[in-house]
Chains A and B, each alone.
Chain A
Amino acid sequence: NSKVIQTPRYLVKGQGQKAKMRCIPEKGHPVVFWYQQNKNNEFKFLINFQNQEVLQQIDMTEKRFSAECPSNSPCSLEIQSSEAGDSALYLCASSHRDRGNERLFFGHGTKLSVL
């Protein structure tokens, strides 16, 4: 169904540690999204990119996260100093961003546990 590849599948970190996860979008998709899904199945938009440029991001992402989508390399999302509340499933999605079809395709996610 989806060819978005996320690594690692699971990530365990202590509080204060950096946590980095990667995403390879589907080939030909210029737009990449990161979402956080908590244990209550609530989705929170974090940031999106078009090619290498940030389109939108929320305040939390701006302050505590660093994210990039360099050309010819996987996209990445890194939490600079993990907190217990960051434990969640981090989902990457990509899209054509064609006005006629803005469908998003999600990867399997990286499940982060902050101990």
Chain B
Amino acid sequence: GDQVEQSPSALSLHEGTGSALRCNFTTTMRAVQWFRKNSRGSLINLFYLASGTKENGRLKSAFDSKERYSTLHIRDAQLEDSGTYFCAAVASSGSWQLIFGSGTQLTVMP
């Protein structure tokens, strides 16, 4: 079936540094969403992309449907960025459901 492979599963960053999360797709997806699960367990919308790149503050996301991947870049990480990040994609064919990645647990350290 359609799969979303998210990496890394865990990431530790010092404040002020940056890194990237990646999701690879086993099939063509027509859109991707990125979420952050906050300390209360709520899924916060970060990005929705059907193509190209978007930037919002210290976060930037890219989606390449043809190459079957999406990335989330975090720069100048802050303590409040800690949480679990999920990508979720909509397959181009058939059912209209979000298929979630397994999550990346980000810890930002002082």
Choose among A45, A56, A103 the residue that contacts B33 (Cβ–Cβ < 8 A): A103
A97 to chain B: closest residue by CB: B96
Give Cα A91–Cα B95 distance, bound, in whole angstroms: 19
- Residue contact B95 to A56, C-beta cutoff 8 Å: yes
Choose among A2, A35, A56, A109 the residue that contacts B45 (Cβ–Cβ < 8 A): A2
Set of chain B residues within 8 Å of A45, measured between Cβ atoms: 97-98
- Residue contact A1 to B40, C-beta cutoff 8 Å: no
B43 on interface, CB distance cutoff 8 Å: yes
**What 1/0 flags go to B4-43 for Cβ under 8 Å of A?**
0000000000000000000000000001010101001111
Give Cα A74–Cα B35 distance, bound, in whole angstroms: 25
Interface size for B (C-beta < 8 A) is 23
Set of chain A residues within 8 Å of B102, measured between Cβ atoms: 41-42
Interface residues on A, range: 20 to 34
- CB contact under 8 A between A105 and B97, given known A41-B84, A41-B102, A42-B102: no
Give Cα A1–Cα B35 distance, bound, in whole angstroms: 11
Choose among A55, A89, A103, A111 the residue that contacts B96 (Cβ–Cβ < 8 A): A55
Set of chain B residues within 8 Å of A41, measured between Cβ atoms: 37, 84, 86, 102-103
Which chain A residues in 80-112 approach chain B with CB under 8 Å? 89, 91, 93, 97, 100-106, 108-109, 111
Given contacts A45-B97, A48-B97, 17 further A-B contacts (CB under 8 A): A1-B42, A1-B44, A1-B45, A2-B43, A35-B98, A42-B100, A43-B98, A45-B98, A48-B96, A93-B98, A97-B96, A101-B48, A101-B50, A102-B31, A103-B45, A105-B45, A111-B41
Residues on A lying within 8 angstroms of B by beta carbon are 1-2, 33, 35, 41-43, 45, 48, 55-56, 89, 91, 93, 97, 100-106, 108-109, 111
Residues on B lying within 8 angstroms of A by beta carbon are 31, 33, 35, 37, 40-45, 48, 50, 84, 86, 88, 90, 95-98, 100, 102-103
In the complex, the 4 A-B pairs of residues with the closest C-beta atoms, listed nearest first: A43-B100, A103-B48, A106-B43, A41-B103
